[in-house]
Amino acid sequence: MAFSDGAKEITYSSPRGWGYSGNANQLTLHPPNKSQAEATISKVPLSQPANFDDETLKKLVDEALASVPKGSTDIQLTSQEKNPLMIQRKETLLLTLTYNFYGQSYSRSILFLNRGKEQIRFQLTCHQADFNELQKAFLGSQYSWQNL
């Protein structure tokens, strides 16, 4: 896939076999044969360039926990990791959480990347039973970014 940021062409290869749709601000990916599984890549404007200091980390954790569907229970932040991978020499932050929604257990990961005055968010949400397999494929695809 190719995108333009106005100055250069940015390319990305989604995991093999995953369907996709999107608009200028968000790309949505669906893995094959997995119900209720979705990955999104979105951009969020920042008022100024940011880094992953303690204050920003707390804000992002609070946002991640608040992002689960209303009515969710047993919401837990299960991990936070700074720089699990570097994308085009840019730092990242990975948050992983779990929750229950209508009797089903879900996992969600959000990888944050600051890019000047915007933040790119790579989010995967799926049943806990599918998480390790889908997370490996989704994070692995992040190495394909060019000119990000």
Measured between alpha carbons, how far is 61 from 57 in angstroms, rounded to an integer?
Answer: 6
Average pLDDT over residues 118-128: 95
Write down all domains in the chain, each with its CATH number in brackets.
2-144 (3.40.1000.10)
DSSP string, 42-80: EEEE-SS-----HHHHHHHHHHHHHTSPTT-EEEEEEEE
Per residue in 12-48, pLDDT (tens digit) is 999 999 999 988 789 999 999 998 999 999 988 888 8
pLDDT at residue 65 in the model:
97
Total-model pTM: 0.93
